[in-house]
Chain A
């Protein structure tokens, strides 16, 4: 193969990106895979090869199944509600009036906030004497609900905080997609006499397919690795009722000094989120092609 100056240039241009990608993305993944076959404690510098024992233990770990169930519940709730509300907001804001431009900026604000800030903000809203219960009390509605202290409601509270931020992202993506719908098509639908529902069903919904793919993938990834908002809101409690897999990994690695075992959990989480995202991409991607 002849090495031309052009090829060297391409290679040189790619090198910084490749180095960053390798060091910041690939190396941690490779290390996680490597660590998951060892019994490691950062505290004692223990490093013993134990083969697949960590994965075998994981199969019997109740806490892991509990966290998996929590993450899956949150993922399903976030995917459905964030997309649904995102579409509604996008449709409502799809106007060119100056007020709507301001509203668009406002609706995106939650997404640029740090998740930990969102967590603490919601904890002040949802605490027993918080704004929500005071608001409910104002309307003489049952207001003694412990939104964060009762395990029945804690997960719902986290879902609300999660969706609040993701809705902002979904809205902007859907809005961008709606803006790209050719006006000729809209005119054609109007001439055909379609009502609003029909217009959405036969025009908007099929053309929103790429936005749905992007949003779903982002939501899936965000929900699987959820950590900071839960940490600020409930710390994984009461008990372990809202402990996500990421929190379990941190606890196992740094509280119980079992870095190898925590790595095996990370690997399983990576595979789970990877497979789920891949399936979603394939399925939603096909829909894009069809439409």
Chain B
């Protein structure tokens, strides 16, 4: 009997211990705000970057419990979001690294309030829709950049960085005559966006950045792609292919391989966004330089993208909390610093100080060169083609068509065929 009584007491004691140890967690779980957060992973921004960034914000605001969601491919993030929407799994918060315009039009995103934007240097960024910001302008990426191999430029006798399109063509001619592949381009399978990079730059620099009404007219059906400016922009890209100035491997390289092809010294120039600088090791065997891709007409234009921060689902259970998390995440100075270091994303955060906050990081000089290009006074900043928002946004489905037709350009298709494809598609989608 004594033993049974002791056992019963021990049982009670165990129950009390379990209750005491589990109770705080139970209360905590009830108070926690659980948010699904979609991020994207690239070679420069791997899982570790996002895990650290989320952990930093959650450390400061422990009320959040964040479930990280990653799309299968960064280039198809928008499509993946649509699949999640169709299956009622649309995330509460998502990095806006996709064409957000159609999601805004569909009423799927929540607009930010003015107070959410006070921490950003440029609160407008990519643009507003009906006067509202739907994706935090967390960072600026300079998109129209040409990275180059300084050793190859020297070997070909090119002493200065090309300033005009003619200079660029001269440089390519000299490189080719020295048996150097002038341009590394490409993007296969799910990375067709990389194949489209030069075209998106050329169109932004020479068409949409020059003729401000082009996209509005395109959307309203007043005009189509049969336009002399558009033809010359596409010609400029396809000429590089026709002249044999691009790598023959273009259409079999995924993004990581494309990047590596340039880093391995297989070609002299690499048109890519500023984030490439984050992939260049400090001790890289050859020196890499960077200049802005010149416009065809000699004007000083620079394609920039100021956005990329979190967007909020209009159907989130916690709109206020989601906005708070998004703003805190986008303006976390340590995350901004890591993002600049890894992906050359220039923070758009008023509280960020380059000298103070990058202490401890060994930044590649290329990143400073990109910041210098961004701050060059005479450049007219123009939005990145296919990523526009508001009235200038392309109709849903056109971005994928631009990506696919860029591969066609690399396959050697004529400009007239590309224009016809784009015209057919826009007519079909309108």
Q: Report A's interface with B, CB cutoff 8 A.
A: 41-44, 57, 61-62, 123, 127-129, 144, 146-151, 231-241, 250-251, 254-259
Contact = CB atoms under 8 A, between A and B. Distances in A.
Nearest to B73: A235
B252 A42 contact: no
B189 A235 contact: yes
B407 A251 contact: no
B189 A257 contact: no
B103 interface: yes
A256 B188 contact: no
Nearest to A57: B428
A250 B76 CA distance: 12
A255 B252 contact: no
Contacts of A254: 79, 82-83, 86
Given A147-B252, A231-B190, 8 more contacts: A43-B103, A148-B188, A149-B251, A237-B189, A237-B251, A238-B407, A239-B413, A254-B86
Looking at B188, B192, B252, which has the most chain A CB atoms within 10 Å of its CB?
Answer: B252
A223 B413 CA distance: 28
Contacts of B252: 127-128, 146-149
A255 B79 CA distance: 5
26 contacts: A42-B82, A42-B85, A43-B82, A43-B106, A43-B108, A57-B428, A62-B424, A123-B189, A128-B248, A128-B249, A148-B251, A149-B250, A149-B251, A149-B252, A231-B189, A235-B189, A236-B404, A239-B404, A239-B408, A239-B413, A240-B404, A241-B411, A251-B397, A255-B396, A257-B82, A258-B397
A234 B188 contact: yes
Contacts, number: 102
B20 interface: no
Given A44-B106, A238-B410, A146 B396 contact: no
A34 B400 CA distance: 27
B110 interface: no
Contacts of A256: 396-397, 400, 429
- What are the nearest 7 A-B pairs in CB distance? A149-B251, A256-B397, A149-B252, A235-B189, A239-B408, A42-B86, A43-B106
Contacts of B411: 150-151, 238-239, 241
Interface string B90-111: 0000000000001101111000
B228 to A, nearest CB: 24
Contact of B251 (A41, A43, A150, A250): A150
Contacts of A255: 78-79, 82, 396-397, 400
Q: Which of B78, B108, B250, B407 has the most CB of A within 10 A?
A: B407
A254 B248 CA distance: 32
B272 interface: no
B405 interface: yes
B330 interface: no
B253 interface: yes
Interface string B120-143: 000000000000000000000000
B397 A257 contact: yes
The residue among A41, A232, A251, A254 with the most chain B CB atoms within 10 A of its own CB is: A254
A62 B425 CA distance: 10
Contact of B404 (A148, A149, A237): A237
A149 B249 contact: yes
Contacts of B424: 62
Contacts of A62: 424
A42 B103 CA distance: 11
Nearest to A126: B252
Nearest to B405: A239
Contacts of A144: 248
Instruction: Please indicate which of the listed interface residues B192, B413, B428 has the most CB atoms of chain A within 10 Å of its own CB.
Output: B428
B192 A235 contact: yes
A237 B254 CA distance: 12
A146 B106 CA distance: 41
A146 B251 contact: yes
B249 A146 contact: yes
A48 to B, nearest CB: 15
A108 B40 CA distance: 37
A210 B305 CA distance: 61
A173 B250 CA distance: 41
Contacts of B405: 239
Nearest to B396: A257
Highest count of chain A CB atoms <10 Å: which of B108, B189, B410:
B189
Interface string B410-421: 110100000000
Contacts of A147: 252
Nearest to B190: A235
A62 B249 CA distance: 28
A43 B85 contact: yes
Q: Most chain-B Cβ atoms within 10 A of its Cβ — which of A146, A239, A251? A: A239
Contacts of A43: 82, 85, 102-103, 106, 108, 396
A150 B186 CA distance: 12
Contacts of A240: 404
Contacts of B105: 44
Contacts of B108: 43
A149 B397 CA distance: 23
A246 B102 CA distance: 24
Nearest to A240: B404
Contacts of B103: 43
Contacts of B191: 235
Contacts of B78: 255
B372 to A, nearest CB: 36
Contacts of B190: 231, 235
B188 A238 contact: yes
A170 to B, nearest CB: 28
A72 B337 CA distance: 53
B185 to A, nearest CB: 12
A149 B189 CA distance: 9
Contacts of A129: 249
Contacts of B249: 128-129, 146, 149
